[in-house]
């Protein structure tokens, strides 16, 4: 199952030619991951960080840009879990504008305790919600 978040490309996201600047586009992807967390696990970043003391930093990232994102466009950012480890998660990212692909990617994030910087196992209820979204063919990759 995927979650789609709609993100507008704003002036601050662009270079002087009005083309989306890749670090800012990746920040929009991070916004979509935050939306995905709320819809999937039922927790927002503020509660995760401040209430639970947990973070979800990206430790691996691969992105392929196929067309420029331009000022004013609405990006449909699709987030889908691929694999869930004990402390990590791999997410597929697909970004389109009106059905036309702009870029795709995969990212691996690790749930960690902010104070110590040590990886933390996914809580059982969060894990259950995430596993329910992973395609059946990838369930053997999920560490229980």
Which tokens hold the place of 45? 């970043």
68: tokens are 């420029």
Question: What are the pLDDT digits (tens) for 39-74?
Answer: 999 999 999 999 999 999 999 999 999 999 999 999
The mean pLDDT value for 8-21 works out to 92
Q: What is the pLDDT of residue 141?
A: 45
pLDDT number for residue 3: 83
Report the alpha-carbon distance of residue 30 to residue 7 in Å, rounded.
11
Q: Which residue has the higher pLDDT, 31 or 136?
A: 31
- The model scores a pTM over 0.85: yes
The model's confidence at residue 140, banded by pLDDT at 50, 70 and 90, is very low
Domains of the chain: residue spans and CATH: 3-138 (3.10.129.10)
Q: Report whether 33 contacts 26 (CB < 8 A).
A: no
CA distance 144 to 139: 10
Residues with Cβ within 8 Å of 104's Cβ and at least 6 positions away in sequence, in order, are: 63, 64, 66, 92, 93, 94, 95
pLDDT for 34 beyond 90: yes
Q: What is the pLDDT of residue 27?
A: 95
């Amino acid at each position: 199952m995927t979650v789609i978040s709609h993100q507008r490309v704003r002036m601050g996201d662009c270079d002087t030619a009005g083309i989306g600047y890749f670090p800012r586009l990746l920040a929009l992807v991070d916004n979509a991951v935050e939306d995905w967390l709320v819809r999937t696990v039922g927790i927002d970043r503020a509660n995760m960080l401040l209430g639970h003391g947990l973070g979800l930093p990206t430790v691996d990232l691969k992105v392929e840009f196929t067309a420029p994102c331009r000022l004013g466009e609405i990006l449909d950012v699709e987030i889908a879990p691929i694999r869930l480890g004990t402390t990590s998660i791999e997410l597929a990212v697909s970004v389109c504008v009106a059905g036309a692909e702009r870029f795709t990617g995969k990212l691996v994030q690790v749930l960690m305790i902010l104070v110590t910087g040590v990886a933390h196992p996914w809580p059982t209820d969060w894990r259950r919600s995430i596993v329910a979204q992973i395609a059946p063919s990838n369930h053997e990759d999920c560490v229980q």
